[in-house]
Amino acid sequence: MNDDLKRACSCCGEEKEVSVAASSLGAFSFAYCADCLTAGVEPYGALVSYIACAGNYPDDINPRWLDFIKHNLEFYDKTEEQFKNDVKEANEEMNQHFRQMASQTKNQGIDF
Ligand SMILES: [Zn+2]
């Protein structure tokens, strides 16, 4: 146990004493300061990626997540419009990535 563990909180980004805890978004952990743990928020970028993988926001999103997202947006001082754009951007990046992988696979086929 190191009581002096100070690093940037994955949520608010401040250098504070943090605890590493399992994220409610999946099987990974982030560093949370006491304030963010209490607030029950997740790192904004992780939330965007998570929702982007789930589908279109808000249509494809389970209603129980909508309140959680709203809570996070309030914490990060973001509007729903900003969040929608961020999710869209993340989706486009992902699609581009998959397209790229697909074309690379095709090229490998031609080389054989
Ligand atoms: Zn924090």
- Cα(17) to centroid(ligand 1), Å: 9
Q: What is the pTM of this model?
A: 0.82
- Cα(35) to centroid(ligand 1), Å: 6
Q: What is the pLDDT of residue 1?
A: 46
- Taking the C-alpha atoms of residue 61 and residue 46, their distance in angstroms, rounded to an integer, is 16
Residue 32's CB is within 10 A of a number of other CB atoms, namely: 24
Domain ranges of the chain: 1-41, 43-112
27-83 confidence digits (pLDDT tens): 889 999 999 999 999 999 999 999 998 888 999 999 989 999 999 999 999 999 999
Report, as an integer, the average pLDDT of 75-100.
94
Please identify which residue in the block is written with the tokens 């790192």: 43
- Taking the C-alpha atoms of residue 32 and residue 74, their distance in angstroms, rounded to an integer, is 17
- Cα(4) to centroid(ligand 1), Å: 16
- Cα(42) to centroid(ligand 1), Å: 9
